[in-house]
Amino acid sequence: MERSIPYDVVIVGSGGGGLRAAISAAESGAKVLIVAKGKINRSGSTLLAGANLSADIACDGRSLYEMGLSEWNKDDSKDKFFEDVCHEGFYLGNQRLVRRFVDDAPDRIRELMDWGMEVLGLEGERGISVFGSAILDSLFRRVRELGIPYVENTVFTDLVVENGAVAGCTCVDLLSGDIRYIPAKAVVLATGGSHGIFRNNSGPSDCCGEGPAAALRAGAELIDMEMISFCPAVILYPEMYKGNILPYIMNTTGYGQFINKYGKTFTQRYLSPRVEALALDTEWNKMLLSYVMQKEINSRRCNRYGGVYYTLALSPQELREELYNDLPSLAKGIYGDIMEIFHSGRCVTCAPFAHYFEGGVRVDENMAASLPGLFGAGECTGGMFGANRVSAATTEMLVEGNIAGASAAAYARDAVPGQASEAHLKELEDALLLPFRTTGGPSPVELRQELQDITGSCLSVLRTQEKLDKGLERIGQLREALGRASLAAQTRKYNREWLDYLQLRNGVVTAGATILAASLRKESRGVHVREDCCYTDNVQYLKNLVVTDCQGGTRWEEPVHTAVRPEPVRRDYIPYVEEVIEKLS
Amino acid sequence: MREIAVKILREAETGRGHYQTYTVEVDDHAVVSVMTLLEKIYTTQDHTLAFFSHAACRQAACGKCMVKVNGAVKLACKEKVTGDQITLEPYSPKVVRDLLCEN
């Protein structure tokens, strides 16, 4: 295995969280390297935030007013924002992290504007609207100013641990196939969500859960893994546009409607008019609408493609003009292509798709994991939002990235540089090259299908004990099959099947931890809905579930509450959602 | 069902480039992209095919999945396939493997 020159801090991931972490680590004086899976300023989910039509960055209304951005909500305060985020997470969020989130948000927005980010307008009472690409461009401008080096097309595989502390990481250069050890005193994981474990996901193809899986293998812990937000209305068919969240964006703006195969609307079947209004008019729409959509899809009213239809009224002409007036971006690019479907008198099929992963690497308010030298930022971490993310993931990645980079740099200042032993590196290399040594085994392509069959069957919006237990059993079999995997091509140069293997090696870990966590939380809370336990139980389950190792070790932990505590009640799921929404400012 | 003949220039990086043709079946009214076809071929017919796939947004935002479609450089995820045959080639002379080029 090649050894690169040593660094103080290696940042894994080059979405918003990774770039922001690199900036603060470099500004703190650390020697930094960024490892990008794809292109440095075009990797990760940040680019797709708000379908690259309108990503929102959240911040309290008072601060927006003070920055001269909004007059709308000047009576708002950081305290009100803090309390709302705590309620929205159904009391599982780490309130010390939430405090940092609301306190730091205005500074993160201000600096992005200083670095040249264009603000398009406002998004609701607590957010500005920008292009996801504009966030990346302004962060990258600052990265270049600071002269931070980076590598591209490089997939992170493992953390290297010596004497109980991080001593760097290993990566594969996808174009050459070379495996490289990068010695470092500290590593910041900013690998994003675990979208790739789901066939139906709204993320880019890079986000495969490398961070949480490698962290767990290396001895760090994961938290809140059972919590996954689904985007309720993502295109399932036509296949070409699968994964696009445009129907969700249009529906949130107020346009179009969902109908089942009989052409009937159905939200009223599952939600009272009051809750339905809440579901459609508030940011809670993701959770509540996903619940409704999945209920309908699981019924005989599901359409032939396995979803429900999203239709758009384009006649009379005035309605068409209203739509294009509100959403001018629909006229061009890929959205123009999607609109052609509606103009030709057809529509699209939608279903809830895995969208945002609340759980991940367990970190404290300094973004430090339990493993010395390991830090995390953004979606690959867990803890901030608890059982439901309503506020913006963009703010999360910026706030956490800033903290993680500075914490990692401070840690690296005092840390003794660790160097991995040859024996340890050989062991890691052997694990990565395993399918090249095997012949006649299953292909990672088929095993990936199996993983996605498993997650689709038991980790969708509506979960049951029986399905989860079965899923866990199948994960065990898949893990065993992965040990026998072999490849059709023996080259290491851009071998997609090998990449599928490397991603699966992580996917079985994150999916296994997620199914395990979902099977142990025998209640419904936030985005975790158990059809067989349709109540939220603050008596027994007001706790975070921590996954402690790859062998199925877990522990329940008291949540970090500093200010907001719920009543110790047990209520039916939907009525409790309604109760919690009433507490919001 | 509609059959699409997909002719792909492979192994140009070795100096011994050759065309390989795959037949992909899609629904009659299916709207498919070049990326859909490549994924179908990779998944069901040929696990050795290389094309940009490790960090693709699949929504014409990242601009990384460029490929030459019937002689013109296009984004694989945005390019709709209408006819019953199509030729795919690497978009630049700096080929890493099959359809993947250095970028």
Amino acid (one-letter) located at A201: N
| Closest-approach residue (CA) in chain A for B33 | A240
A440 phi/psi in degrees, rounded to 5:
75, 10
| Closest-approach residue (CA) in chain A for B94 | A175
pTM, rounded to two decimals: 0.97
Q: CA-CA distance, A562 to A365, in Å (whole number)? A: 13
Q: CA-CA distance, A50 to A39, in Å (whole number)? A: 20
Name every chain A residue with its beta carbon within 8 A of the beta carbon of B54: 37-38, 153, 155, 174, 205-206, 496, 499
pLDDT of residue A281: 67
Ordered structural domains, chain A, with CATH: 1-52+131-227+358-536 (3.50.50.60), 231-353 (3.90.700)
Across A431-569, the runs of DSSP E, i.e. the strands, are 462-463, 529-530, 535-537, 544-547, 554-557
| Closest-approach residue (CA) in chain A for B78 | A334
Whether B72 has a pLDDT exceeding 80, the answer reads: yes
Coil, strand, or helix at residue A100? helix
Across A297-364, the runs of DSSP E, i.e. the strands, are 308-311, 348-357, 360-362
Instruction: Kindly state the tokens that stand for A146.
Output: 């600071």
pLDDT of residue A82: 97
Q: CA-CA distance, A388 to A216, in Å (whole number)? A: 23
Q: CA-CA distance, A291 to A467, in Å (whole number)? A: 17
Nearest to B30 among A155, A238, A244 (CB): A238
Strand partners, A350: A235, A308
Nearest to B80 among A39, A240, A489 (CB): A240
| Closest-approach residue (CA) in chain B for A132 | B61
Determine which of B20, B34, B47, B77 to mutate to test the interface with A (most A C-beta atoms within 10 Å): B47
Instruction: Kindly state whether B56 is in contact with chain A, defined as any CB-CB distance less than 8 angstroms.
Output: yes
| Closest-approach residue (CA) in chain B for A447 | B43
Name every chain A residue with its beta carbon within 8 A of the beta carbon of B12: none
Which letter, b or e, does each residue of B63-82 get, where b requires 16 or more Cβ atoms within 10 Å of its Cβ? ebbbbbbeeeebbbbbbebe
Name every chain A residue with its beta carbon within 8 A of the beta carbon of B92: none
Instruction: Kindly state whether A332 is in contact with chain B, defined as any CB-CB distance less than 8 angstroms.
Output: no
Domain count, chain B: 1
Whether B29 has a pLDDT exceeding 90, the answer reads: no
Backbone CA torsion sign across A529, A531, A536, A539: negative
CA A197-A198-A204 angle, 5° bins:
85
Instruction: Kindly state whether A134 is in contact with chain B, defined as any CB-CB distance less than 8 angstroms.
Output: no
Q: CA-CA distance, B59 to A203, in Å (whole number)? A: 10
Domain of B64, in residue numbers: 2-101
Name every chain B residue with its beta carbon within 8 A of the beta carbon of A497: 47-48
Burial class (CB in 10 A: 0-12, 13-18, 19+), A302: middle
CA distances from B87 to A66, A105, B52, B81, B100 (A): 57, 49, 16, 11, 15
* B97·A42 Cβ contact <8 A: no
Q: Radius of gyration of chain A from Cα atoms?
A: 23
Name every chain A residue with its beta carbon within 8 A of the beta carbon of B64: 38-39, 42
Share of chain B above pLDDT 70, in %: 100
CATH of the domain at B70: 3.10.20.30
Instruction: Kindly state the tokens that stand for A80.
Output: 């009100």
pLDDT tens for each residue of chain A, 585 residues long:
999 999 999 999 999 999 999 999 999 999 999 999 999 999 899 999 887 778 899 999 999 999 999 888 999 999 999 999 999 999 999 999 999 999 999 999 999 999 999 999 998 889 999 999 999 999 999 999 999 999 999 999 999 999 999 999 999 999 999 999 999 999 999 999 999 999 999 999 999 999 999 999 999 999 999 999 999 999 999 999 999 999 999 998 899 999 999 999 999 999 888 888 877 766 778 999 999 999 999 999 999 999 999 999 999 999 999 999 999 989 999 999 999 999 999 999 999 999 999 999 999 999 999 999 999 999 999 999 999 998 999 999 999 999 999 999 999 999 988 889 999 999 999 999 999 999 999 999 999 999 999 999 999 999 999 999 999 999 999 999 999 999 999 999 999 999 999 999 999 999 999 999 999 999 999 999 999 999 999 999 999 999 999 999 999 999 999 999 999 999 999 999 988 988 888
* Selection from A551, A554, A531, A552 nearest residue A543 by Cα: A554
pLDDT of residue A123: 86
**Residue A243 CB neighbour total at 10 angstroms:** 22
Instruction: Kindly state the tokens that stand for A570.
Output: 């047990």
Name every chain B residue with its beta carbon within 8 A of the beta carbon of A47: 57, 61-62
* B31·A495 Cβ contact <8 A: no
* Selection from A441, A552, A424, A425 nearest residue A501 by Cα: A441
- Closest-CA distance, B65 to chain A, in angstroms, reads 11
* Selection from A237, A474, A493 nearest residue B11 by Cα: A493
Instruction: Kindly state the tokens that stand for A110.
Output: 């201000």
* B30·A133 Cβ contact <8 A: no
* A155·B50 Cβ contact <8 A: no
Instruction: Kindly state the tokens that stand for B20.
Output: 């390989």
pLDDT of residue A418: 80
